[in-house]
Amino acid sequence: MKTGYLTIDDGPSADWKVKADFLLSKKIPAVWFCTGKKMEKRPEAVVYLIKHGFVIGSHAYDHPKFSQLPLKECFEQLRKTDEIIDALYEKAGVERPAKFLRFPYGDKGGGEEETDKGWPPEKREHIQAIQDFLKKLGYRQPKFKRLTYGWYLKAGLDKDVDTYWTYDVMEWSTFQKKPLWGIDSLEKVLERMDEDMPEGCRGINFAGSNDIIMVHDHALTTSMFVPIIEKLLSKGIRFALPE
């Protein structure tokens, strides 16, 4: 049976509880990668999530592209959000189980400048400095079992401190001015879930690997959340938390 590690980015939105309670009704665990700014706006949401067994991860303070920030600002984004999460775990009366982070946009600090020869030297230094700072704060890569995709392993994504993904549901594309790959509706999101291209980042139907599944806590796509999760369940995916 395929295991799916559900991760939810950009929360907590105004509709966070609809999603949380649906997951609880289905006994589906998840890591919520929340921004510091939204956690400050809705601390009660985070306390609720913590008390109900969800894991809170960092998504930086206000969702920047780390490649566009000087290191000092990158460090402050991480440090400030880490302190907010610590305080909310303390408020919830629950010991923080681990420190996980996902970079906004998946931007580890290099942007889109990587070539076949890798990152330019200055970008490599920027990326490494951020990884080293995360280690100092106590962050680590979650322990995901049986991730076998060649593209994922070749990129070294299993070796970094931060948490990437292997399957992007892409519901976020539906409200963009220019939807990526024409994904502009729930119907197209669900149709994409039936594709079978393991080395094309669409391996949700591939039995040979588990998946880190990324969805988002956006108010604009709240109506899509239940159908998306139900579609994943219909494929026989068993959801679990990483260690």
pLDDT in tens, 174-194: 999 999 999 999 999 999 999
| 3-state DSSP assignment of residue 204 | coil
In sequence order, the β-bridge partners of residue 171 are none
Task: Tell me how crowded residue 210 is: count the other CB atoms within 10 A of its CB.
Answer: 24
Q: Find out whether 198 and 209 touch, Cβ atoms under 8 Å.
A: yes
**Which has the minimum average pLDDT: 21-25, 99-103, 117-121, 203-207?**
117-121
Name the phi and psi angles at 186, rounded to 5: -60, -40
Report the predicted TM-score, pTM, of the whole model to 2 decimal places.
Answer: 0.97
Under 8 Å CB-to-CB from 196, ≥6 apart: which residues? 202, 203, 205, 206
pLDDT in tens, 136-155: 999 999 999 999 999 999 99
Residue ranges of domains in the chain, CATH in brackets = 3-239 (3.20.20.370)
DSSP label at residue 207 = T
pLDDT in tens, 67-120: 999 999 999 999 999 999 999 999 999 999 999 999 999 999 998 655 555 778
Closest to 204 measured CA to CA, from 149, 152, 167: 167
> What's the mean pLDDT in 212-239?
98
Q: How far is CA 25 from CA 48, 51, 60, 215, 219, in A?
A: 15, 15, 29, 18, 20
Q: Which amino acid is at 34?
A: C
**Which has the minimum average pLDDT: 116-120, 122-126, 226-230?**
116-120
**Per-residue b/e over 78-89, b at no fewer than 16 CB within 10 Å?**
bebbbebbeebb
Indicate the average pLDDT of the chain: 96
Q: Which amino acid is at 170?
A: M
| 3-state DSSP assignment of residue 32 | strand
Q: In this structure, what token pair is assigned to residue 43?
A: 């601390």
Q: How far is CA 89 from CA 8, 102, 227, in A?
A: 18, 19, 31
| 3-state DSSP assignment of residue 103 | coil
